[in-house]
Amino acid sequence: MNTSHSISADLFESYRRYRLQPVRQLNPLTLAHILDEFFWGQPREAALLWDKIERRDDRVRTAVAKRKRAVSALNWEIITDDDSPEATTQRADLEYFWGNLRATDMRCRDMTGGVDTYIRQVMGAIGFQYATHEILWRVSPGGRYTAELVAVPLWYFETESGRLRLLREPGAREGEDLDPRGWHVCASEESPLHEATAIAYTFKVTPLADWALKCEKFGIPWTVGKTNAQPNSPDWHAFARAVGGLGNNCAIVTNNESSVEINASAAGGEGPHPALVDRMDRAIVSLWLGGDLATMSQEGGANGSNPQKAGGDALLGGDIKFVTAQAEALSKKALELIHGAGVTPKAHFRLIAEADTDTTRELSVITTGVNHGVGVSVAHFREKFGLPAPASGEELLRPATPGAPAAAPAPSAAWNSAERADLAALARANAQDLAPLAARIAALDAAKTPEALADELAGLLRDFPALASQTLRSDAAANTLADAAEAAARAGLKAAGKTPETRAR
């Protein structure tokens, strides 16, 4: 059982003093050589380059951090295959292991974190293809196991044999095999994203440097001064100093017979530099956060509310599966250390995705299952919703009512038929109440000439108060509604087994 760091202070110091800085000589030719070396199993130069890019480029740093934090911000839990004593014991062991786990980095041992730090370090494999930890096992006074995980950068390793091996010297090309009990190696099956990121970065920094040079040369307008003084005469030098002061050292002095022309295409216009820099920035964001370049605006924004939403959800799901698989491998190492080699894991580490935290939906599924005779254990219910078992003698919550009321029966066919008859009777009663007004409106429709229509409208306007009063006094609709309400009440009382009383009209 490994309990101490196998990388000596001398080895760490020799690597720290190793002055290889590939980013300073970066160009398409040197980048091609570095990527070829990575493909051939020597990732040292590529890892150093990718690390510098991730630390120093604003877009890469932001996109990588966002991708990692989307996973590390999730909660985690230990689940079991069944309710057996073995599964319960393993769950307790893993809960202690993960709850007390410490993650750090060999380059900065003062930095320590928990599971969230471990997840961010594992996510480094998305960019570098490998994320490697040395496992320093820790045992509590009570015999419980946990670990300190020390992240070791990729430039300490080579992969010519197809497996990660530790290099004991900065210039070595063949390393030592890793003890699987003391090392936790996470490898992504996808090509490392930093490979394509480095290409985009290379074609970003070149126009960016040219753009900065153009700003330095032509950012301030040049001042051209012409004088009749003789070159190198006192008057000439005095004139040159005066013009230089006006132009902030961006000045040219000639005599009247000479002239200077500044290339307008070089000094003016935006040029191709901003477009190329922006294109590479958007490519970097697309690589790490998903989304299509065609849907992204020239400012790196979006045509819509969230350009990476669909792609980002898919990426998060894949990242959760990847991290869970690596954590499962580490959990198995811990269980084998505690229970012996060959133990069958019955407890597992699981990240809780946002979609998994819909408590209402989960409770509905369990309730429906119980109502249909599906057995659900109390232990599973408590674990699912984080409900601890009550202590002996502790007061318990009780249901608000003795039982749930029975569901109301569906309306019968007879009831539906009576409802339709009542609606028809109400329609006839409304027609009876409105008959006088309807007759006058029909007379308007029957008018043949404008004069006849005008006469009918004048008569309707004159007689409208009397017609309205007559309509309001008619009680056909009111009587029909009263009859329907009485019939419904009688039917309800009869269904409840009670004798209805006769209503006096």
Rounded CA separation 138/145 (Å): 6
419 and 353 co-located in one domain:
no
Q: Is the confidence at residue 319, as pLDDT, over 70? A: yes
Task: Find the range with the poorest average confidence among 155-164, 199-208, 213-222, 234-243.
Answer: 213-222
Structure tokens at 503: 């209503």
The last residue of one of the domains, among 334, 357, 380, is 357
Cβ(254)–Cβ(224) under 8 Å? yes
26 and 107 co-located in one domain:
yes
Cβ atoms within 10 Å of 31's Cβ, excluding its own? 21
β-strands 176-177, 75-80 pairing: unpaired
The last residue of one of the domains, among 322, 337, 357, is 357
pLDDT bin (cut points 50, 70, 90) of residue 299 is very low
Is 298 within the bounds of a domain? yes
45 and 191 co-located in one domain:
yes
pLDDT digits (tens, 9 = 90+) for 21-48: 677 778 899 999 999 999 999 999 999 9
307 and 422 co-located in one domain:
no
Structure tokens at 436: 């006088």
Q: How distant, in Å, are the alpha carbons of 184, 412, 485 from that of 326?
A: 9, 60, 70
Is 13 within the bounds of a domain? yes
347 and 424 co-located in one domain:
no
Q: Using N-to-C axis directions, what is the helix angle for 44-56 and 58-72, rounded to 10°?
A: 90
323 and 438 co-located in one domain:
no
187 and 322 co-located in one domain:
yes
Q: Is the confidence at residue 295, as pLDDT, over 50? A: no
pLDDT at 253: 67
Q: Domain tally for the chain?
A: 2
Is 58 within the bounds of a domain? yes
H or E stretch at 31: helix 28-39
pLDDT digits (tens, 9 = 90+) for 335-357: 999 999 999 999 999 999 865 55
pLDDT digits (tens, 9 = 90+) for 164-174: 999 988 778 89
187 and 56 co-located in one domain:
yes
Length, in residues, of the chain: 505
In the chain, what's the furthest Cα-to-Cα distance? 130
Where do we find the tokens 């697309």?
A: 286
87 and 178 co-located in one domain:
yes
Q: Which domain holds residue 456?
A: 413-495
pLDDT at 427: 80
421 and 342 co-located in one domain:
no
Q: How distant, in Å, are the alpha carbons of 189, 201, 281, 291, 297 from that of 278?
A: 30, 11, 5, 16, 10
The last residue of one of the domains, among 357, 383, 402, is 357
Is 384 within the bounds of a domain? no
pTM: 0.62
Rounded CA separation 165/157 (Å): 5
Is 317 within the bounds of a domain? yes
pLDDT bin (cut points 50, 70, 90) of residue 498 is low
H or E stretch at 412: none
Is 328 within the bounds of a domain? yes
Structure tokens at 419: 């409802």
pLDDT at 73: 94
Is 182 within the bounds of a domain? yes
pLDDT digits (tens, 9 = 90+) for 353-387: 865 556 777 778 888 878 877 777 777 777 667 67
315 and 450 co-located in one domain:
no
40 and 127 co-located in one domain:
yes
Rounded CA separation 420/357 (Å): 47
Is 299 within the bounds of a domain? yes
Structure tokens at 127: 């960019």
pLDDT bin (cut points 50, 70, 90) of residue 259 is low
Rounded CA separation 351/157 (Å): 30
